[in-house]
């Protein structure tokens, strides 16, 4: 049992659904990423260079992170360098993670900073 509760924004669900059509293993891959990267970092305090805090976006009790090393089985031969990125908020007080954005680096180079700002505005 990890102790972390997971949720996702409507925007994340929409992005995820779109990517799932192209990368069929995404559901399974996300579950693995939760255990092998997110929980390793936030619960056990082990940094395997997968999770990075995005500077300038943390608010009281909420930190924004990017998961870079995301293994996608549908992208054979790429390992954890699949190019899929996940942006999420870690709510420190209640050990909760909310997924904000998922994207394929081949489609879009960087996270949507305005989407992150909007998320933080809604949380305050």
| pLDDT bracket for residue 2 (50, 70, 90) | low
**Per-residue pLDDT tens for 7-61?**
999 999 999 999 999 989 899 989 989 988 999 999 888 888 899 999 999 888 9
**pLDDT score of 58:** 84
**Per-residue pLDDT tens for 100-115?**
999 988 888 899 999 9
Structure tokens that stand for 94 in this block:
């209640």
DSSP 24-49: TTHHHHHHHHIIIIIHHHHTS----S
- Domains of the chain by range and CATH? 5-123 (3.30.2310.20)
Rounded CA gap, 36 and 117, in Å? Answer: 27
Whole-model pTM: value is 0.91
Tell me the three state secondary structure of residue 103: strand
Nearest CA to 8 out of 86, 92, 113, 111 is that of: 86
> Do residues 96 and 5 lie in contact, with contact meaning Cβ atoms separated by under 8 Å?
yes
Residues forming beta bridges with residue 96, ordered by sequence position: 5, 91
| pLDDT bracket for residue 1 (50, 70, 90) | very low
What Rg do the C-alpha atoms of the chain give, in angstroms?
14
Rounded CA gap, 91 and 25, in Å? Answer: 27
| pLDDT bracket for residue 78 (50, 70, 90) | low
């Amino acid at each position: 049992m990890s102790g972390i509760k997971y949720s996702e924004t409507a925007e994340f669900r929409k992005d995820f659904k779109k990517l799932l059509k192209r990368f069929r293993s995404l559901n399974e891959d996300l579950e693995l990423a939760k255990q092998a990267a997110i929980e390793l970092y936030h619960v056990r305090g082990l940094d395997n260079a997968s999770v990075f805090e995005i500077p300038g976006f943390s608010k009281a009790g909420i930190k924004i992170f990017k998961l870079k090393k995301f293994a996608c089985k549908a992208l054979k031969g790429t390992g954890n360098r699949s190019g899929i990125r996940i942006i999420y908020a870690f709510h420190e007080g209640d050990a909760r993670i909310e997924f904000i954005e998922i994207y394929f680096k081949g489609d879009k180079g960087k996270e949507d900073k305005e989407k992150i700002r909007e998320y933080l505005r809604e949380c305050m």
